[in-house]
């Protein structure tokens, strides 16, 4: 059996301490009282967005603190966690497929469903999959230690399903997967009610962390060697510091970008309604804030935006784009689009294509509309046939591919700073990430393995481009 999270760095060595009675380290004090419990193994698989990915990092930290040990496969584990996503029907079905695989041969294991499907389906999951013994939504993760005790005691229906909370999920330990870029949640939940979206039902109302705790965690991350921070929330723009300091998102962003050692700050996701000009002013004046904004538009048609209850018009959206284009640095702009929302005509769809041309996005995440439980749009007539949604999606993706070919070609000849994130042995290329969040694969004149570049920042001259990435040569 291979345990995950083998210590790779000094900080991890400290974090792997399980708190023996004689140990005086900080982690030992955090986990000491649980030292004597029998070590159990767990496996976790995560679906969905970055918020979910980071929740899992915190859940893993909580489980390790409780004395559990992470393993690589569900077969090896005594306790199997699925942290689920419900944003589209296909995402929701994934967890039930996984659970079905273990319906018969999962004897001796316990199964727990976490995340958005857990919150949405609640106790119905026990009926659909009787071998599941824990169902817990993200608003209840603070109760995980008590829930694990119940599970240990043989309780077969352990639940954490209340959405009535003003708390955010904090842990003494977080097991981050990426050694250079750290996720950091600043706000949980969502107070919008977009007509197609399950998130307000699965993640509850908005609640922000204090600015002091965000800055303290950013400093700690810098001390641990992280150089990039990604601030997370379903709508980071509506961040409101609950402490008397009362910082808004623009202020918080700027201050995180001033933490010594933090070279890059990103954030996701923004809502156009709450994306105010001071956010762009902060980005324009603080070089640590990356040259990239992800601003989901969903549709280019005012009629559709209204039906989707997005709370902005095409013109208001384009105003935000104009702020980005007026910056001294070139800002990469990405978005999300839904095709085939109920009532979307071909004309509406053409208006969306025209918006893509007007903005010239660097990348677009596009989805076929999926009917979701509890949402306002569920009751709408005039559903678009599946084949038509598929056709529109293909047309949109090809349209955007051509835009990306043009956008990326404009980078050829430029020198971009990259954070080195990996090395591709097959091609002999390093994998870098630019401030614009573009993948830039590059070669280096010195023997590739002579010096480990991972986690370093290097300058790369772009020599070639494709629709989805850039290629180049390291110049320093
Ligand atoms: N908070 C983010 C979105 C989170 S969901 C925001 O406001 O933009 C990520 C994306 O999934 C959304 O931007 C939307 O494009 C897509 N999405 C959400 N619900 C969907 C649904 N019912 N069908 C298809 N796509 C959906
Ligand atoms: Fe969903 Fe809209 Fe909230 Fe985004 S802002 S999470 S799309 S309800
Ligand atoms: Fe999915 Fe929940 Fe994120 S529905 S996209 S995991 S907030």
Number of the ligand 1 atom closest to the C-alpha atom of 298: 15
Q: Ligand 3: does its nearest atom lie under 6 Å from the Cβ of 116?
A: yes
Does 400 share its domain with 419? no
469: left (phi over 0), alpha (psi -120 to 50) or beta: beta
Does 18 share its domain with 153? yes
Q: Is 294 part of a structural domain of the chain?
A: yes
For residue 424, give the CATH number of its domain. 2.40.50.140
User: How many angstroms separate the CA atoms of 286 and 272, rounded?
Assistant: 21
Q: Which helix (H) or strand (E) holds 324?
A: helix 314-325
Q: Is 135 part of a structural domain of the chain?
A: yes
Does 94 share its domain with 233? no
Q: Ligand 1: does its nearest atom lie under 6 Å from the Cβ of 311?
A: no
Does 204 share its domain with 250? yes
Q: Is 167 part of a structural domain of the chain?
A: no
Q: Is 236 part of a structural domain of the chain?
A: yes
Tell me the two tokens of residue 325.
Answer: 């284009």
Q: What are the residues whose beta carbons fall under 8 Å from the beta carbon of 170, sequence distance 6 or more?
A: 58, 142, 209, 213
pLDDT of residue 476: 82
User: How many angstroms separate the CA atoms of 137 and 145, rounded?
Assistant: 14
Task: Give the HSE-up count for residue 95: Cα atoms under 13 Å, Cβ half-sphere.
Answer: 32
Q: How many whole angstroms from 230 Cα to the centroid of ligand 3?
A: 17
pLDDT of residue 447: 60
The phi, psi pair for 362, rounded to 5°, reads: -80, -25
Does 67 share its domain with 131? yes
CA diameter of the chain: 72
pLDDT of residue 156: 94
From 355, 386, 409, the end of a domain falls on 409
Q: Which residues of the chain have pLDDT under 50?
A: 1-3, 5-36
Does 303 share its domain with 372? yes
From 160, 182, 208, the end of a domain falls on 160
Q: How many helices and strands (H and E) does the chain possess?
A: 15, 19
Does 64 share its domain with 202? no
Q: Is 384 part of a structural domain of the chain?
A: yes
Q: Ligand 1: does its nearest atom lie under 6 Å from the Cβ of 197?
A: yes
For residue 29, give the CATH number of its domain. 3.40.50.12160
Q: Ligand 1: does its nearest atom lie under 6 Å from the Cβ of 296?
A: yes
Containing structural domain, residue 217: 173-409
**Which of 49, 193, 205, 235 is the pocket-test mutation for ligand 2 (most atoms within 8 Å of CB)?**
235
For residue 388, give the CATH number of its domain. 3.80.30.20
SS3 for 422? strand
**Which of 44, 57, 87, 204 is the pocket-test mutation for ligand 3 (most atoms within 8 Å of CB)?**
87
Q: How many whole angstroms from 193 Cα to the centroid of ligand 2?
A: 6
Does 117 share its domain with 248? no
Q: Ligand 2: does its nearest atom lie under 6 Å from the Cβ of 202?
A: no
Q: Ligand 1: does its nearest atom lie under 6 Å from the Cβ of 196?
A: yes
Does 239 share its domain with 254? yes
User: How many angstroms separate the CA atoms of 465 and 19, rounded?
Assistant: 51
Does 367 share its domain with 466? no
Does 154 share its domain with 37? yes
Q: How many whole angstroms from 296 Cα to the centroid of ligand 2?
A: 10
Q: What are the residues whose beta carbons fall under 8 Å from the beta carbon of 200, sequence distance 6 or more?
A: 189, 190, 191, 192, 193
Q: Is 429 part of a structural domain of the chain?
A: yes
Q: Is 28 part of a structural domain of the chain?
A: yes
Work out how many domains the chain is built from and give that number.
3
pLDDT of residue 170: 86
From 116, 138, 160, the end of a domain falls on 160
pLDDT of residue 107: 76
Does 209 share its domain with 119? no
Nearest CA to ligand 2 atom 2: 194
Q: Is 2 part of a structural domain of the chain?
A: no
């Amino acid at each position: 059996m291979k345990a995950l999270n083998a210590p790779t760095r000094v900080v991890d060595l400290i974090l792997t301490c399980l708190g023996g009675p004689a140990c005086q380290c900080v982690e030992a004090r955090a986990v000491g009282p649980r030292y004597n419990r029998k070590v159990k193994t767990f496996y976790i698989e995560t679906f969905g967005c970055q918020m979910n990915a980071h929740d899992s990092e915190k859940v893993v930290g909580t489980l390790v603190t409780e004395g559990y040990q992470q393993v690589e496969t569900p077969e090896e584990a005594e306790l199997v966690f699925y942290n689920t996503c419900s944003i589209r029907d296909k995402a929701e079905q994934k967890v039930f497929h996984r659970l079905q695989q273990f319906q018969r041969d999962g004897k001796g294991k316990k199964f727990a469903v976490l995340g958005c499907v857990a919150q949405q389906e609640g106790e119905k999951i026990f009926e659909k999959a009787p071998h599941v013994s824990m169902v817990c939504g993200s608003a209840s993760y603070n109760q995980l230690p008590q829930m694990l005790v119940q599970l240990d005691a043989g309780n077969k229906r352990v639940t954490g399903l209340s959405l009535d909370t003003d708390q955010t999920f904090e842990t003494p330990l977080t097991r981050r997967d990426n050694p250079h870029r750290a996720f950091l949640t600043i706000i949980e939940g969502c107070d919008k009610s977009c007509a197609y979206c399950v998130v307000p039902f699965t993640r509850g109302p908005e609640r922000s962390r204090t600015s002091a705790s965000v800055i303290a965690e950013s400093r700690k991350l810098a001390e641990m060697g992280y150089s990039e921070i990604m601030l997370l929330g379903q709508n980071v723009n509506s961040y409101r510091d609950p402490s008397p300091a009362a910082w808004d998102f623009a202020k918080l962003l700027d201050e995180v970008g001033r933490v010594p050692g933090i070279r890059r700050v990103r954030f996701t996701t923004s809502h156009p309604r709450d994306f105010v000009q001071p956010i762009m002013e902060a980005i324009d004046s603080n070089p640590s804030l990356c040259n990239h904004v992800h601003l989901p538009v969903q549709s280019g048609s005012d009629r559709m935006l209204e039906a989707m209850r997005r709370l902005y018009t095409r013109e208001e959206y384009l105003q935000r784009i104009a702020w980005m284009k007026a910056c001294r640095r070139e800002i990469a702009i990405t978005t999300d689009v839904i095709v085939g929302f109920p009532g979307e005509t071909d004309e509406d769809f053409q208006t969306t294509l025209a918006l893509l041309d007007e903005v010239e996005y660097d990348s677009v995440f596009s989805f076929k509309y999926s009917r979701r439980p509890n949402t306002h749009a569920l009751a709408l007539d005039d559903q678009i046939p599946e084949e038509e949604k598929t056709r529109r999606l293909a047309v949109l993706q090809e349209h955007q591919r051509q835009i990306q070919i043009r956008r990326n070609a404009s980078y050829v000849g430029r020198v971009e700073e990259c954070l080195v994130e990996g090395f591709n042995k097959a091609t002999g290329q390093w994998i870098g990430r630019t401030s614009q969040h573009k993948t830039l694969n590059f070669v280096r004149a010195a023997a590739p393995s002579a010096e480990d570049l991972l986690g370093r920042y290097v300058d790369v001259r772009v020599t070639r481009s494709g629709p989805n990435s850039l290629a180049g040569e390291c110049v320093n």
